[in-house]
Amino acid sequence: MYDLDKIRADFPILSREVNGKPLTYLDNGASAQKPQVVIDAITKVYAEEYSNVHRGLHFLSNLATEKYEAVRGIIARFLNAGDENTIVLNSGTTEGINLVAYGWAMPRFEAGDEIVLSVMEHHANIVPWHFLRERQGVVLKWVDTEADGSLDPQKVIDAIGPKTKLVAVTQCSNVLGTVVDVKAITQGAHSKGVPVLVDGSQGAVHMPVDVQGIGCDFYAITGHKLYGPSGSGAIYIKPERMAEMRPFIGGGDMIKEVSKEAIIYNDPPMKFEAGTPGIVQTIGLGVALEYMMELGMDNIAKHEGGLRDYAMQRLSGLNWINVQGQAPGKAAIFSFTMEGAAHAHDISTILDKKGVAVRAGHHCAGPLMDHLGVSATCRASFGLYNTKEEVDTLVDALELAHELFA
């Protein structure tokens, strides 16, 4: 049973007020709130267990190392990766994709080689590829969304040509909520000998993920959207891709031996994890993922699906609201504009006065904003703790904003 009242009680921040109103937190797409078990785990490590990992033989170092390394296995279970050594720990999706760009793509891509992207990618899955375009002459090929915001997998596959070296695509749009059939894209790309990177920053939050079932070569996640600490994350890398990669950042921990003449790298995945890591953040991420798995990813998806359907029903009754993206099966993410002169920032400010937290701007998705023909939108993004009553609160606040700007 999905006990929503109990779940909400697990998140202390949800009981606070903002501007004299109960907090209605609908900015989960940017960053999710943290359950008490994560907060307690972080506090316990700092207060009672902290030490550096991998380098000491004393009790605290061994304890910290054990708890830190256990998270690799938790993430592997969360993603159904099979082997925990396919998991590279890092600070989040941005670092993970940059690792692939610098460690795998840069040494093997030449001028004229192509990367296929969808137009709705987050900047984290765009900017590293632009670096390769600027520095090595790599060509970026873009696939547009359909009128309803969906992405046709066949159009992505058809965009793959003889010079395509990578397909990089999101599993779930942070703006439109569109859920992408990354398995079909991966199968089509692999049939043409092209690897696939999946940005799972949103996908892993809203649905069960099976990287072995998807078959992708790379799958990146970020901890702060998964109810864990900021500065935590990981990327799944297939063993055959990992064997092709050179290190991205050099320093301690990613080496076995260093001399004046040479270095010997550590074995993967530690070969790609230089320096003192985000020890406490990573331990907190492990606790957050265990919390989600205890609730059940299918249960979370079902709950959020109900919120999505109810929110679509309520928002469709506001004929002066334009919701961007109506793809079937989308996640509970709603980006919208309001008819008239009201800017997204103005709408967000009015909603904040009612205690409703939404995001306003381009959502780190510049090419998608250009494709949609808008400069900015408001975005209400729902999480595992949100309620239908909060949908009603959002609609009431939007009606007030419309009255003020009409």
Q: Which residues participate in catalysis according to the annotation?
A: 364
Residue 300 host element (H or E): helix 297-316
Q: With 0-12 CB in 10 A as exposed, 13-18 as middle and 19+ as buried, what is 234?
A: buried
- Residue 140 has what DSSP assignment? E
CA angle 219, 224, 230 (to 5 degrees): 110
- Residue 177 burial class via C-beta count within 10 angstroms: exposed 0-12, middle 13-18, buried 19 and up: buried
Using the Cα atoms of residue 58, residue 64, residue 69 and residue 73 in order, give the sign of their dihedral: positive
How would DSSP label each residue in 70-136?
A: HHHHHHHHHHT-S-GGGEEEES-HHHHHHHHIIIIITTT--TT-EEEEETT--GGGTHHHHHHHHHH
Query: What one-letter code names the amino acid at 75?
Result: I
Rg (C-alpha) for the chain, rounded Å, is 22
CB 285 within 8 A of CB 231: no
User: Residue 269's Cα: distance from chain center in Å?
Assistant: 21
Pick from 52, 44, 86, 70: nearest CA to 289: 70
Provide the pairing of β-strand 218-222 with 233-237.
Answer: antiparallel
71, 283 contact by CB (below 8 A): yes
Tell me which H or E stretch contains 389. helix 388-405
